[in-house]
Each structure stands twice: as C-alpha cells, then as structure tokens.
C-alpha cells in the first residue's frame, strides 16, 4: 500500500505540470516562447513519469523484500517449534485406579508418566499429596506423606518411563471419606468428604545438557506454572514438618478433626488450582 500512495502523488504532479504547460502554450501570443514552455513542460512530464516508474519499482521491491523476510522469520519460527517437539521430551501424566475388589471398589491408585517426545539423559520424579477435606462449608488441604508406596523408573515399549505405585491408598482414602461423612451427619454438618489432590514434579536433562523442571497437577494431568509448583512443594514440606504423623497410613478421622480445630480454612492458592 505504501508504494501505491507514492505512485498516485507522482502521477498528480505529472498531470498538473502537463496542464499548466498546455495552458501557457494555448494562451501565449509569443509562439516561440510557447514552444519553449511546451518543450520544458513536456520534458518535465517525461521526467516525472520516469521518476514514477523508477520509484514505484524501488518501493515495490523494498516492500516485497520486507514481506519475504517476514515470511522467512515465521517459517523459521514454525520449524523451531517442530524441531523442539521432536527433540525435547513431552511428558503426560496418567492417574488411575486399579486392583478391583469383589465389592466393586478399587484398592489402589497409581500414576504413570509417559514420554511421547524426544530423548533425555537424566530423570527424577517426585509427588506430593494433599488430602482435600470438605467439612461443613469449609475446605482444608492436609499434607499426606507416602501416599504412594513405591516409585520407580521404567523402560517399556509404550513410552511409559516412570510409575508411582499405591498400596491400598485408595481403599484408605475412601474409608476416611465414608467415616468423615458419618461424623458430619451425626454432628449436623452439611458435608463431610475427603479426596486426594496430587502434584507431580519431573526433573530431566535434555540431550543438550540443559536441566528442566516441570510441575503437573497429577489429578488432572495439567502442566502448572513453575512458580506455582515450587510454592506447592515448599508448602507441603513446611506443613508436613508440623504434623505429628508421618505416613498416610496413619491417617484417621481424628487426625482430620484435630487438623480442622487447629487450622483455618485453606488458602486461595490450592483452592484456585483445584477449581480450574
């Protein structure tokens, strides 16, 4: 568009010059002078037209070069994204229940971590669990330790690279929730419920030797902002130090009720993440 405006302005200059010369020639009684003026203005028109052509070509080439450079930059950006997708690992978190009982309840909860991307040199994974308690109208997030009994790195044909294995953790959690619901009903509370909220930390080194740390909401598989993930892990560690129990297997309804007595309803950080 820029060179189009330039062409129009030059054309207007040429047309105005032409009509001025023509007017002088037609109204001047001195024929010799008219010829001179006509010649001058004819040359001016010719020069203007030449200037229009040269300038237009120059502007057009300049615009085309800028457009090509922009397209090349966009192509390079897309190629970089594709390259990274091929080279860098792409982790997926899958939380599931297993080991079905006769009464149709699942005993264990596990986590599988898959890599559907590139290779890596080093891998370290860890998890934290908050027991999300809804009691009456309030919510509490109680840190739980050793929710998963075993965690290990795995080599498989289906891109599975890491696994957190639970031992009766879902059975324990569901039992707590049922007992808490009975206690809430007995004490005329609106609600009593307990469920686990899982967060996973994945540390790896890429093929270029650069270290990376990723945080996931293990319950949903959602990738978290690193700042949020760091705060969650620090918060879990800090709260766990203040608790009298050490393992999730030591949890009881009294553990939950004692926590509720000593603590206010939980902060917005965990609540906002869980409500997404």
Together in a domain, 217 and 114 = yes
- Residue 95 contacts residue 110 (beta carbons within 8 Å): yes
Together in a domain, 80 and 111 = no
Of 51, 86, 121, the position where a domain reaches its end is 86
Q: How far is the C-alpha of 276 from the C-alpha of 256, rounded, in Å?
A: 25
Together in a domain, 20 and 108 = no
Q: How far is the C-alpha of 143 from the C-alpha of 129, rounded, in Å?
A: 6
Query: Which pLDDT tens digits describe the chain residue by residue (276 residues)?
Result: 555 555 566 556 656 655 655 555 555 545 555 555 555 555 555 566 666 666 666 776 777 788 888 888 887 777 766 776 678 899 999 999 987 665 677 889 999 999 998 899 899 999 999 999 999 999 999 999 999 999 999 988 899 999 999 999 998 999 999 999 999 999 888 889 999 999 999 999 998 889 999 999 998 999 999 999 999 999 999 988 888 776 898 889 999 999 998 888 886 767 666 665
Q: How many domains does the chain have?
A: 2
Of 70, 86, 102, the position where a domain reaches its end is 86
Q: Is 64 helix (H, G, I), strand (E, B) or coil?
A: helix
Q: How far is the C-alpha of 99 from the C-alpha of 49, rounded, in Å?
A: 86
What does the DSSP 8-state code read for residue 119? -
Together in a domain, 158 and 233 = yes
Together in a domain, 199 and 243 = yes
Domain range for 26 is 2-86
Of 37, 60, 86, the position where a domain reaches its end is 86
Helices 253-262, 169-186: inter-axial angle, 10-degree rounding: 60
């Amino acid at each position: 568009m820029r060179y189009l405006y330039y062409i129009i302005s030059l054309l207007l200059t040429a047309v105005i010059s032409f009509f001025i010369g023509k007017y002088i020639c037609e109204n001047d009684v001195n024929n010799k002078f008219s010829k001179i003026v006509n010649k001058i203005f004819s040359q001016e028109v010719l020069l203007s037209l030449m200037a229009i052509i040269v300038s237009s070509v120059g502007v057009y080439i300049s615009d085309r070069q800028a457009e090509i450079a922009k397209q090349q930059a966009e192509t390079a950006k897309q190629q970089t994204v594709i390259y990274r997708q091929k080279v860098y690992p792409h982790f997926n978190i899958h939380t599931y229940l297993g080991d079905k009982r006769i009464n149709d309840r699942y005993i264990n909860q596990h986590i599988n971590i898959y890599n559907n991307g590139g290779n890596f040199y080093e891998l370290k994974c860890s998890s934290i669990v908050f027991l999300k308690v809804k009691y009456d109208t309030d919510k509490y997030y109680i840190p739980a330790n050793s929710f998963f009994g075993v965690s290990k790195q795995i080599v498989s044909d289906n891109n599975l690279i890491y696994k957190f294995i639970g031992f009766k953790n879902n059975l324990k959690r569901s039992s707590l929730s049922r007992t808490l619901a009975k206690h809430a009903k007995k004490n005329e509370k609106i609600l009593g419920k307990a469920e686990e909220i899982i967060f996973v930390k994945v540390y790896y080194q890429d093929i270029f030797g650069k270290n990376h740390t990723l945080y996931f909401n293990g319950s949903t598989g959602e990738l978290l902002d690193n700042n949020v993930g760091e705060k969650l892990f620090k918060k879990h560690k800090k709260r766990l130090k203040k608790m009298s129990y050490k393992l999730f297997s030591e949890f009881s309804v009294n553990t939950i009720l004692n926590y509720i007595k000593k603590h206010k309803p939980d902060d917005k950080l965990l609540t906002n993440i869980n409500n997404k």
